[in-house]
Chains A and B, each alone.
Chain A
Amino acid sequence: MKVKVNLKKPVKPLSCTKETSLKTSDLIRLYYFLKLTRMFDEITVRLKRQGKITGGVFSSLGQEATAVGTAYALEPQDFIAPLIRDIGACFVKGILPREIFASYLGRATSPNRGTDLQFHFARLEKGFIGPISHLGDMVSVMAGVLLASRMKKENRVAVAYVGEGATSTGAFHEGINFAAVQKLPLITVIENNGYAYSTPTYKQCAAKSFVDKAIGYGILGLQVDGNDVVACYEVMKKAVEYARRESQSVLIEAITYRRKGHAEHDNQAYVPAGEIEWWAENNDPIKRFELFLVEEKVASKEELKKIESEVAEYLEQELEIAESAPPPEPITAAYEVFDNSVVPPAIKKKFLS
């Protein structure tokens, strides 16, 4: 069984859903975050090619709307655990580009002190817990965040972002089931972007769609066009309201597309011819939103261009701040495995004095 890709041109260029409660200022804000995400991505790719980033660069090109739109529906007290392609959600939660740049570049100023890469760090005060590489692990961690929130009467919801590939892990299943049984307001967003590394969706899951999994967990399942930023916002808003009100879990499947390879080295030879081009041409989340903004007279093309140049300038400043920061002192590697007031740091032994 092979998935048939419909590579026909849409009759009318795709835009975004018109039914929205979002105000003009919010719509402009969404556009800002989409551009911020894409242009951040372009810079990291550049830094990787320049050899300044030694770790992996995992592009979110073409799927920015899912992270941005869904995160935008959250309140400040709510938590997210993004996946590597959810940089947009990090920005919406208030993580600064300079922090993520610093982490990519292995600087001492990174919130993880250079001990980890990408946005593998946390900012608890901002409701942000970065992922680890092991897929699916964050689902139960977020359930734990919510358990504490309930005990402390803090009224939070939490979002665990996973790729469709991660739904095949035991950790995903255990976490989502646990949250469902405990009636925790966990919203798991499955970003179905067509591929997990080289593995197409049909080799990952035999169900017709990932949202069907919700039935098995006894929770509400919602599906959304992940390249429609307005729809992503609206579906999340509905999920958040329901989760908070009913204290129940929700599963959202956002359908999107990964236009770049898994990471920079991946040449995507396994992708059927024309597929990437089709998405780039006909279903780019930013182009769609631009069309929406202009059609709905929210902003003119010129106004959008202005936002773009503001973002460009802002990102270069943020990069400059990150790049000019010092690398970590080697010896700091020895610190913070434990509370060093209880257990001393793991300083290297010297053999000769």
Chain B
Amino acid sequence: MKDRKVTFIEAIRQGLWEEMKRDKSVFIIGEDVGTYGGAFKLTEGFIDEFGPERVIDTPISEAAIVGVACGAALMGMRPVAEFQFIDFISCGFDMLTNYAAKSRYRGCGAIPAVFRGPCGAGVRAGPFHSLNAESFFLNTAGLKMVEPSTPYDAKGLIKAAIRDPDPVLFFEHKKLYRLPRIKQELPEEDYIVPIGKARIARQGRDLSIITFGAQVLNALDAAEILEKQDGLSVEVLDLRTLSPLDKESILETVRKTNRVVILHEASITGGIGGEISAIIAEEAFEWLDAPIIRIGSIDTPVPFAPQLEDYHLPSIEEIVSACRKLAEY
């Protein structure tokens, strides 16, 4: 029998494809996205189906890619711009934070554009191909941010992002792209996953790990170990949307378990974990039975050598020991 389960990258492809079929204003723009089909082959075959007018190969000009997407979006198009690696979003930073983010607020028009690309570390790609960029944009009002961890969510969220009335940064952890472990069968019918809603990836009673992206898998693995070895029931909350944060789901899991670990892959200082823990401290302080623990990468660039990168990144052992500490508290 044919395996009907799809990979993470295939799910994003499907979502994009269906939206381009559904809505003629959707188009793709980026480096090597057309003939080559993208550095990760996410848009392979798109140019054959939709033509070079809607699948546009560009010069190496990220600022212009973002700017052009903004201009087209103002005129009623729905651009999906690709960064070959999210690391190169830095070259489009000005356009994103000054133009895309502020246009609606300034009365100059909405920008319904999606800016997507592969993010994340753990693939031995060194300091310039491993970025998690969310904290750079968390403090920019006017940009939504999404980072799914399952094929179902990836497809549902890319569709929601394309239909969204405002600019959305769509982060795809490259480690998940072809990971067999997370393959899923997807619904036949059209669906979206709403932006701004977290998901409980595992139900639990004793403590909560709040996380997103590829770290969801580490959290689930840690939860499994803690259940087997310590009899602890760990809840895993997958945020899915990073801006605006789903405060209600965050507070709900805190009220349920009273102990929280916040886990992300970006460096700890100035990371999104600080924002989440501030929300919890301000709005659910009396529900806490233990201090909040944040786990992230150490405050260094992402190093290349495996020994260094493994030290840099959060590990399952660390998550397990943090949870044990909380449980004992």
Contact = CB atoms under 8 A, between A and B. Distances in A.
Q: Do A and B come from one complex?
A: yes
Contacts of B298: 333-334, 346-348
A327 B61 contact: no
A303 B134 CA distance: 58
Q: Which of A54, A135, A331 lies at the interface centre, i.e. has the most chain B CB atoms within 10 A of its CB?
A: A54
A330 B63 contact: no
A196 to B, nearest CB: 6
A168 B57 CA distance: 13
B35 interface: yes
A203 B325 contact: no
Nearest to A350: B321
A204 B59 contact: yes
B69 to A, nearest CB: 16
A350 B311 CA distance: 12
B200 interface: no
Interface in A301-353: 327-334, 337, 346-348, 350-352
Given A170-B63, A198-B35, A334-B298, A133 B304 contact: no
A204 B325 contact: no
B129 interface: yes
B32 A197 contact: yes
A329 B303 CA distance: 12
Contacts of A197: 31-32, 36, 39, 84
Given A115-B301, A171-B91, A346-B298, A204 B60 contact: yes
B311 A134 contact: no
Given A170-B61, A198-B36, A328 B308 contact: yes
Contacts of B62: 169
A155 interface: no
B91 A169 contact: yes
A117 B304 contact: yes
Counting chain A residues whose Cβ lies within 8 A of the other chain, the interface size class is 35 or more
B307 interface: yes
Interface-centre pick from A328, A333, A352 (highest chain B CB count, 10 A): A333
A22 interface: no
Interface string B118-132: 000000111111000
B311 A116 contact: no
Contact of A203 (B59, B127, B299, B307): B59
A243 B218 CA distance: 56
Contacts of B311: 330-331, 333-334, 348
B325 A116 contact: no
Nearest to B41: A265
B51 interface: no
B24 interface: no
Contacts of B59: 165, 168, 199, 203-205
Interface centre among B32, B57, B87 (most CB of A within 10 A): B32
Given A120-B126, A199-B32, A352-B324, A115 B308 contact: yes
Contacts of A348: 298, 311, 318
A194 interface: no
A270 B124 contact: no
Contact of B126 (A116, A134, A327): A116
Given A106-B306, A117-B304, A331-B311, A132 B321 contact: no
B300 interface: yes
Nearest to A330: B311
Given A333-B308, A337-B301, A351-B321, A169 B126 contact: no
B305 A114 contact: yes
Contact of A114 (B32, B304, B321, B325): B304
Interface in B78-120: 84, 87-88, 90-91
A166 B300 contact: no
Contacts of A76: none
Contact of A333 (B35, B88, B300): B300
Interface string A122-142: 000000000011111000000
6 contacts: A114-B305, A133-B87, A134-B90, A169-B61, A351-B321, A351-B324
Interface of B: 31-32, 35-36, 39, 57-63, 84, 87-88, 90-91, 124-129, 293, 298-301, 303-312, 318, 321-322, 324-325
Given A168-B60, A346-B300, 6 more contacts: A114-B305, A169-B61, A170-B63, A330-B308, A330-B310, A347-B298
